[in-house]
Structure 1
Amino acid sequence: MLEELPSHRQLRKLVADQIRAAIFDGRFKPGEWLRQERVAQELGVSQMPVREALKELAAEGLIEHVPYRGVRVVALSVEDIEDLYEHRAFLEGRAAEKAVEYITEGEIADLKLMVTEMESLPPEQIAQYRKINRKFHETIFLISRREYLIRTLTQMWEAFPTMLIGNFAVTAQRPLPQRDMQDQMEHRAIMDALENRNAKRAGEAMKEHILSAARNLIDSLKANS
């Protein structure tokens, strides 16, 4: 149960955080209907902050309003995955290009260390791999200093990877087939471009890395459908 907070804005944010966490960890399943009254009872709050929190989560793309039916957790299709990866590839590719203008030797060293750490992890430590991989990508787009790219990509990374895990069991507990060596080569190509201050190549390498991951994921999903 949530403790009542003096600030309505704080309460709405806390409710949104609780619902978001429930979606991410699978307590609210893809396609599940979220009834305001039930959610409010579970969280120990009134329906008003729940209603406002659901609007916030709809804007993030985690839930959707269906006319005359209510609100449900978004269930991603293969076509959605294609669009999400294409969008992310374009934005992160541009961020990598811009990062070349500002990246320092210390930041290059930090990114190289992340790549080394990812390469040293065994397959069963997929959760730790994903954590470092996310930090790798976030570090690069933060270095770009492009505020729109940073805001948009931060929001995508908040929901995007976990939504894929929640929607598709094949992605949840194990790495995708044949991605280990491919990821290593692609990460090294990105680092090589950044270290050599080649903006065009950095953008191309980042975009190809993300699109190749999309192709592998879609192939695995189709093979397991």
Structure 2
Amino acid sequence: MQLELRETDRQPGQSMTTKLKRVQTRIDYVDEVYKTLLDAISDGSIAPGTRLTQEEIAEQMEVSRSPVLQALRLLKKDGLVQDAPGRGVLVTPLTIESISNLYLIRGALDNLAAKMAAARGAAIDPVYVSRGREISKGKNIKAMIDADMAFHNAIYEASGNPLIAQSAQVYWVHLRRAMGAVLQSSKQRESIWLEHEAIAQAISAGDVVKAGELSDLHTTHARENLIERLSQYLAQ
């Protein structure tokens, strides 16, 4: 399955073709390998169904197999990879059901955070929106995902309830993959930041009801857009 949902003839289980960056000299190789693979899976560079082997990853990143094995174990624990027939692992497929469930949870948390932030009279720094809009004009999907996460994390923090952010982080690992697919569309990038700006304005105005409604609308749009694109791909 193709995470980026772009035209491709990749078949599930096909070997990885993405070139991974070489790991620089660092103390914690495991963390670096994990982050590199996580980013590649999240932004679509490594598609669902892609087979990953310790040998290939270790060779490309110029590290031993030990940190690669540990990084793959962490990714498996996160649910991002799964055992493959024979050797290695496969990047876990995206399914309509899993994406729908993730966005339902995200919607509930985002709604709560937005309403609590508005009730506290919090202000979301406009730099999050301006920076996000600027980044969305480029081609760096990882930077777009990071900017989106930064905006929502700002709302979580503004809510004054640290448990919201802690709960949300469990799901954002998987949401990054979904966002990577949605952000391939330049049209979606523009509408996302228009919605972000409206949510921020409602929070700053102290409008609890509107902040919650706009947050729900934003999550619903994101969920519907991704499910539509994923459905079109699966129908091919």
Q: Same fold (TM over 0.5)?
A: yes
Aligned with residue 72 of structure 1, among 81, 90, 93? 90
List aligned pairs for 1:15-54, cutoff 5 A: 15-54=33-72
Distance 1:154 1:126 in 2: 25
Aligned with residue 164 of structure 2, among 141, 149, 153? 149
Residues 189 and 19 from structure 1, CA distance in 2 versus in 1: closer, same or farther, beyond 3 angstroms?
A: closer
Kindly provide the CA deviation profile for residues 141-187 of structure 1, in whole angstroms up to 9, marking residues without a partner as x: 121233232134345445523x2365x4x7514224xx856863x44
When the two chains are superposed, the root-mean-square deviation of aligned CA atoms in Å is: 3.6
Residues 42 and 90 from structure 1, CA distance in 2 versus in 1: closer, same or farther, beyond 3 angstroms?
A: same
Deviation of 1:210 (Å): 0.4
List aligned pairs for 1:165-176, cutoff 5 A: 168=181, 171-176=183-188
Deviation of 1:82 (Å): 1.1
Structure 2 counterpart of 1:164: 178
Which residues of structure 2 form unaligned runs of 5+? 1-21
Residues 182 and 33 from structure 1, CA distance in 2 versus in 1: closer, same or farther, beyond 3 angstroms?
A: closer
Calculate the TM-score normalised by the size of structure 1: 0.71
Residues 68 and 156 from structure 1, CA distance in 2 versus in 1: closer, same or farther, beyond 3 angstroms?
A: same
Calculate the TM-score normalised by the size of structure 2: 0.68
Q: Which amino acid aligns with 2:221?
A: S
Q: Which amino acid aligns with 2:91?
A: V
Kindly provide the CA deviation profile for residues 12-56 of structure 1, in whole angstroms up to 9, marking residues without a partner as x: 112212222332454432211111232223222222221211122
Structure 2 counterpart of 1:202: 211
Structure 2 counterpart of 1:87: 105
Percent of residue pairs bearing the same amino acid type: 29
Distance 1:67 1:152 in 2: 33
Residues 65 and 200 from structure 1, CA distance in 2 versus in 1: closer, same or farther, beyond 3 angstroms?
A: farther
Secondary structure of residue in 2 paired with 1:64: strand
Deviation of 1:88 (Å): 1.0
Residues 173 and 181 from structure 1, CA distance in 2 versus in 1: closer, same or farther, beyond 3 angstroms?
A: closer
Contact 2:129 2:196 in 1 (8 A): yes
Secondary structure of residue in 2 paired with 1:49: helix
Kindly provide the CA deviation profile for residues 56-110 of structure 1, in whole angstroms up to 9, marking residues without a partner as x: 2223332223586642112212222211211211111122222234443xx34x2
Structure 2 counterpart of 1:211: 220
Aligned with residue 153 of structure 2, among 125, 138, 143? 138
Number of aligned residue pairs: 211
Contact 2:48 2:91 in 1 (8 A): yes
Contact 1:92 1:206 in 2 (8 A): yes
Which residues of structure 1 form unaligned runs of 5+? none
Secondary structure of residue in 2 paired with 1:37: helix
Secondary structure of residue in 2 paired with 1:72: strand
Deviation of 1:195 (Å): 3.2
